[in-house]
Amino acid sequence: MAVIVDIVSFLDILEREVADYRVPVVDLIGIQTSDPFRILIATILSARTKDEVTAVASERLFARAPDAPALRSLAEKEIRDLIYPVGFYKSKAAHLKKTAEILVVRHENRVPCTRGGLLELPGVGRKTANLVLAVAFDIPAICVDTHVHRIMNIWGYVETKTPLETEMALNEKLPLPYWNKVNSLLVAFGQGTCRPVSPHCDNCVLGETCPRIGVTPRKVKKVKK
């Protein structure tokens, strides 16, 4: 049975905590541009890729292809060179080329603002679709990054095996005002404090109340006096 934690209090504490952390790259692009095209493309690039790498690759690509028609006009090889070394850059280049084609031909150069429309784009799964809905269109959608799935289970707020199960469980119980921001909060927190390996429980704002289910915290060396 899921543990009872005060999720509103946890997320409110984290919102204050991560205000000084590095903003996840897709949220940053959302804040800087509000451009659904750039948010979609950066989200595709960010899969299995560090934020620093995604940021540089996105900037290089957008300098040559600021919109769908420009991206469509690039050869797949050019796209590949521009986005290297993001993870799976070869298949992502192929997906981006096809995505640009679909946006131009079927959507009048625009990014669709429905989950169904987004899921028809190559390389776009639920995580990407939900993030684009939330960040680009401010439509309530819960994006479940690996950090969200992991930390929600550490807290015992959900008891799930896969990100999809976590999304479904959160759809049932997470209060609506937190849907669009939970991913950004927990990605920043998961990269900074509650890391996948050796989380910094000794220096965590939730240290007193977190159930720490299945967690092995980092070891902190005691300083001899």
Q: Which residues are designated catalytic?
A: 127, 145
Judged by CB, which is closer to ligand SF4: 107, or 212? Answer: 212
CA dist 120 → 38, 99, 106, 129 (Å)? 18, 9, 11, 10
Residues 50-63: b if buried by 16+ CB within 10 A, e if exposed = ebebbbebbeebbe
State the DSSP string of 182-208: HHHHHHHHHHHTS-SSS--GGG-TTTT
Judged by CB, which is closer to ligand SF4: 181, or 200? Answer: 200
Judged by CB, which is closer to ligand SF4: 33, or 191? Answer: 191
Judged by CB, which is closer to ligand SF4: 5, or 47? Answer: 5
Write the DSSP symbol of residue 49: S
User: How many other CB atoms are there within 10 angstroms of residue 78's CB atom?
Assistant: 15
Residues 104/112, Cβ–Cβ less than 8 Å:
no
Residues 126/133, Cβ–Cβ less than 8 Å:
no
Residue 133 structure tokens: 């809905």
Query: How many residues make contact with ligand SF4 (CB under 6 A)?
Result: 13
CA distance 136 to 113: 9
Subset of residues 104 to 163 that bind ligand SF4, contact rule: CB under 6 A: 154
Judged by CB, which is closer to ligand SF4: 108, or 208? Answer: 208
CA 203: distance to chain centroid? 24
Subset of residues 166 to 195 that bind ligand SF4, contact rule: CB under 6 A: 193-194
Subset of residues 192 to 221 that bind ligand SF4, contact rule: CB under 6 A: 193-194, 199-201, 204, 206-207, 210, 212, 215, 217
Residues 49/75, Cβ–Cβ less than 8 Å:
no
Residues 130/119, Cβ–Cβ less than 8 Å:
no
Q: Does residue 54 interact with ligand SF4 by CB under 6 A?
A: no
**Which residues lie near ligand SF4 (CB under 6 A)?**
154, 193-194, 199-201, 204, 206-207, 210, 212, 215, 217
